[in-house]
Amino acid sequence: MIVWKAGSRWTLLILGSLIGAGYASGQEIWQFFGIDSGLAILLFTLMFMLSTYVVLKISYEVRADHFVPVLERLVGPWLAKVYDVLIVLYLFTTTTVMIAGGGGGDS
């Protein structure tokens, strides 16, 4: 029972992240991949499941409480530092664009 409860929490966390990011609704998926792209959607789903499994497995193995140990295991210590900087820049840029877009209709 405890395993199912923990698994359910992780599943809901991942689904909540996708839905919150706007990727999990059928409308956005069909618009992104196109109406005749059922195979592309299936391949994306399989690749997403595989990558999520790998990240969760590494997180569990190294007992990570932060993303850096997982990154170091995936790409090595040097590239992990580069990716860490890129992630911070991405988050800053995304936040800036969203804040700017939030006031875009005000004139």
Helix intervals (H) in the chain: 2-21, 26-33, 38-62, 67-75, 77-102
| 31 phi/psi in degrees, rounded to 5 | -65, -40
Angle made by CA atoms 39, 41, 45, in degrees to the nearest 5: 115
| Amino acid, res. 94 | T
- Per-residue pLDDT for 86 more than 90? yes
CA atoms within 13 A on the CB side of 26: 2
> Binning pLDDT at 50, 70 and 90, where does residue 75 land?
very high
If asked whether residues 70 and 57 sit together in one domain, one would say: no
How close are the terminal C-alpha atoms of the chain, in Å?
Answer: 55
Show the domain range for 4: 1-63
Q: What is the rounded distance in angstroms from the CA atom of residue 81 to the CA atom of residue 15?
A: 28
Percent of the chain at pLDDT above 90? 24
Query: Tokens 């991942």 — which residue?
Result: 14
- Per-residue pLDDT for 82 more than 90? yes
Question: pLDDT tens digits for 12-63?
Answer: 666 666 666 555 566 666 676 677 777 777 787 788 889 888 988 999 999 9
If asked whether residues 70 and 59 sit together in one domain, one would say: no
If asked whether residues 57 and 70 sit together in one domain, one would say: no
pLDDT at position 10, please? Answer: 67
Number of domains within the chain:
2
If asked whether residues 72 and 55 sit together in one domain, one would say: no
Q: What length does the chain have?
A: 107
pLDDT at position 69, please? Answer: 92
Instruction: Note the pTM of the prediction, 2 decimals.
Output: 0.61
If asked whether residues 44 and 71 sit together in one domain, one would say: no
